Structure 1
């Protein structure tokens, strides 16, 4: 008869050392404006999936696209190690 036992590695797979580090959390926090802008852009696109986009929908998508681009540029300009200063 074979006994089924718990493998210790499987039980402790999510131990403390598996948590995100402070640097990883800071990186996520720095990218949060880009993430939120992308979510806003996706929401604007999702609204128009089941209907013909109106003029307001087109403006909403265009504004969300500009915000997403501006958030990405701001993140790149804040990135450490950039020596050329361009984004």
Structure 2
């Protein structure tokens, strides 16, 4: 006779290892301004999918793109330890 056993213990046995480490959480926190800027840029592009972009849409996309570039530069400077100047 075959016994049916649950796999609950096997599935949850590694649950502690599935959580992000402190270093991973710090990296996410460091990159979050860039992620949010990229989401804003994506939102600006999504708004224009069903219509021709007008002047306000173009301005919103341009500002969002500039914010992404600023956040990328800030992240690159912070990552490589540069304290001033452009990357």
What TM-score do the two structures reach when normalised by structure 1?
Answer: 0.84
Residue 86 of structure 1, CA deviation: 6.2
Whole-angstrom distance in 2 between the partners of 1:17 and 1:81: 31
Residue segments in structure 2 that go unaligned for 5+ positions in a row: none
Q: How does 1:15-30 map to 2 (within 5 A)?
A: 15-30=15-30
Whole-angstrom distance in 2 between the partners of 1:27 and 1:42: 22
CA deviation profile, 1:38-64 (whole Å, cap 9, x unmatched)? 000000000001111001000100110
- Tell which deviates more after alignment, 4-13 or 65-74: 4-13
Given that 2:48 and 2:57 are in contact with CA atoms closer than 8 Å, whether structure 1 keeps it comes out as yes
Q: How does 1:1-87 map to 2 (within 5 A)?
A: 1-7=1-7, 8-13=9-14, 15-80=15-80, 87=87
Residue segments in structure 1 that go unaligned for 5+ positions in a row: none
